[in-house]
Amino acid sequence: MKTSLSELTLAQFIDLECGKLDVLKESHHEVVPMERLIETRSAIAQEFQSIASPASYKSMLVDREKKSKLRAKAILFGALKSLVDIEAIAEVRELMSSAGIDCSGFDDKRLRSEVEQRLNTVTFELKRMGIDAPKHEDVTPDAVRRGYEGMVADLMIANKMSIDIETIRASVFAQMIYKANEIAKALNEKIKSKK
């Protein structure tokens, strides 16, 4: 099974981004669990992003960490709310204390209020970050292909060269995007400094 960006041509990578997981298999007869194919697809997409745009990749990782922490808090406060609803106040105090939340000075009414307020805050933050909203469901394979075709066209025009997506490695293409972005950034800074 292919597990690295450098093992794929750009055409195969685009197919993979369009949901064709079979491009990861060395042959049509290779049997690979679907879960492993999905994990590998995600890892390869992240590898492409980390090469083509390191800054946005780091931002994506920070964003993912924030979302994970919010989800964990939502689970915690959802469970605490359920415990409050069944009057398991002692357990709520114990769990909040083990989570590093000081509630020693709260009476039962204040504790209930605190749990509800924190659950509402986390729920609001999740919605604000768009976590509940479906992502990428409206993105069709044709839209993905057009996006990559646009990048290829931009690079061909900028570098006055031809790019064959059937032969160029996806990792090389990612490097080309990175270099083009660096050149564009340097030109923009040069223009700004002349003003």
Q: What is the pLDDT of residues 6-18, one digit of tens each?
A: 999 999 999 999 8
Contacts of 91 (CB under 8 A, 6+ apart): 83
Residue that is last in its domain, among 84, 99, 128: 128
Last residue within a domain, chosen from 128, 151, 182: 128
pLDDT digits (tens, 9 = 90+) for 115-143: 888 888 888 887 877 765 334 445 688 88
pLDDT digits (tens, 9 = 90+) for 74-105: 888 888 888 988 989 889 888 888 888 888 88
Task: Look at residue 39 in the predicted model and tell me its pLDDT.
Answer: 93
Q: What count of other Cβ atoms lies within 10 Å of the Cβ of residue 55?
A: 9
135 is a domain residue: no
Q: Do 79 and 116 lie in a common domain?
A: yes
Report the domain count for the chain. 2
Residue 108 pLDDT exceeds 80: yes
Q: Say if residue 182's pLDDT is above 60.
A: yes
CA distance linking residue 27 with residue 7, whole number of Å: 14
Structural domain including 91 reads 61-128
In a domain, 118, yes or no: yes
Query: Per mean pLDDT, which range of 25-39, 59-73, 154-168 is the poorest?
Result: 59-73
CB atoms within 10 A of CB 152: 20
Helices 34-52 & 54-85, crossing angle to 10 degrees? 130
Same domain, 149 and 106: no
Predicted local distance difference test score (pLDDT) of residue 132: 57
How far apart are alpha carbons 9 and 171 in whole angstroms?
8
